[in-house]
Amino acid sequence: MWSYEKQKRFDKKGNRWHFVYHDWDGLQIPYEEQPVELYFRNDTRTVFGVLMFERRKDNPYRNYEVMVNKIMNDEAFRKTLLAPETEKVWNKNWK
């Protein structure tokens, strides 16, 4: 399941960011054991990345807002998540 966040998000410098949440809702494993991914990109399509957890329960950022703000505003953290190959994810149409 892919969920594009339609809320407009801006970092502290005024740059816009986009987020897509991907989870596997139909798996025959318990909810907390399911993998989860949060893809992100900047508005100019020059930065692409993904925050992945093999098991939902391993996600230390239980609060979605905290997780998104950390990606947008903590450049050192964001650099560890960069994955230019995820650009192809943004070719999907979620609207």
Domain-embedded: residue 45: yes
Best mean pLDDT range from 40-44, 52-56, 89-93: 40-44
**Do residues 8 and 72 lie in contact, with contact meaning Cβ atoms separated by under 8 Å?**
no
Domain-embedded: residue 66: yes
Structure tokens at 95: 């609207």
Domain-embedded: residue 43: yes
Domain-embedded: residue 50: yes
What average pLDDT does this structure show over 12-39? Answer: 88
Residue 31 banded pLDDT, cuts 50, 70, 90:
confident
For residue 71, how many other CB atoms are within 10 A of its CB? 22
pLDDT value of position 95? 53
45: containing domain? 2-24+38-91
Place of tokens 């399911």: 34
pTM of the model: 0.89
Residue 56 banded pLDDT, cuts 50, 70, 90:
confident
